[in-house]
Amino acid sequence: MDVVIYHNPACGTSRNTLALIRHVGIEPHVVEYLKTPPSRAMILGLVKRMDVPLRSLLREKGTPFVELGLGDPDLTDDQLLGAVEAHPLLLNRPIVVSPLGVKLCRPSEAVLDLLPSEDLKPFTKEDGEVVIDAEGRRVR
């Protein structure tokens, strides 16, 4: 299975998502989007495949979101894309692309909807939260 993760290694959610992908035996294509930001066209393509508004992919915490006035509902997608282009940190993460779909994986266990679900092994997040129990069942 071909999987891509738009990843920030400084983010615990992103690290846990990457670990879950690898845990099911998939080595994804890792795009450190702060070093190699996706193009406007790629972002728009991801948004279209997710069937969500562009605004829903913007990150507020730890970004210049407020300073740039990005909460203004009158801003166009073009203006939002310009802000993301200038400040890639505004793009929320991790975004995962698989043959089963595209999703912003917050919380990290949301990635399991995009991965094979048979024969899951137990998995615990960095913070100790159990995501897959000893019987291979997702903990919700």
- pLDDT tens digits along 11-62: 999 999 999 999 999 999 999 999 999 999 999 999 999 999 999 999 999 9
Residues 6+ apart with CB under 8 A from 65: 58, 59, 71, 90
Residue 96's pLDDT band, with cuts at 50, 70 and 90, is very high
CA separation, residue 54 to residues 4, 9, 20 (Å): 19, 23, 26
Helices (H), 51-128: 77-86
Q: How many CB atoms lie within 10 A of CB 115?
A: 20
AA identity, residue 14 = S
> Beta-strand (E) ranges in 74-115?
95-98, 101-104
AA identity, residue 53 = P
Residue 119's pLDDT band, with cuts at 50, 70 and 90, is confident
Residue reference for tokens 């894309």 = 81
Which one from 3, 5, 11, 102 is the annotated catalytic residue? 11
pLDDT at 64 (0 to 100): 97
- Determine the Cα–Cα distance for residues 15 and 123; give it in Å rounded to an integer: 13
- Determine the Cα–Cα distance for residues 34 and 25; give it in Å rounded to an integer: 26
105 is catalytic: no
The order of strands in the sheet holding 95-98 is 29-32, 4-7, 95-98, 101-104
CA separation, residue 20 to residues 15, 25, 62, 108, 125 (Å): 9, 9, 25, 8, 9
Q: Kindly report whether the global pTM for this prediction surpasses the value 0.85.
A: yes
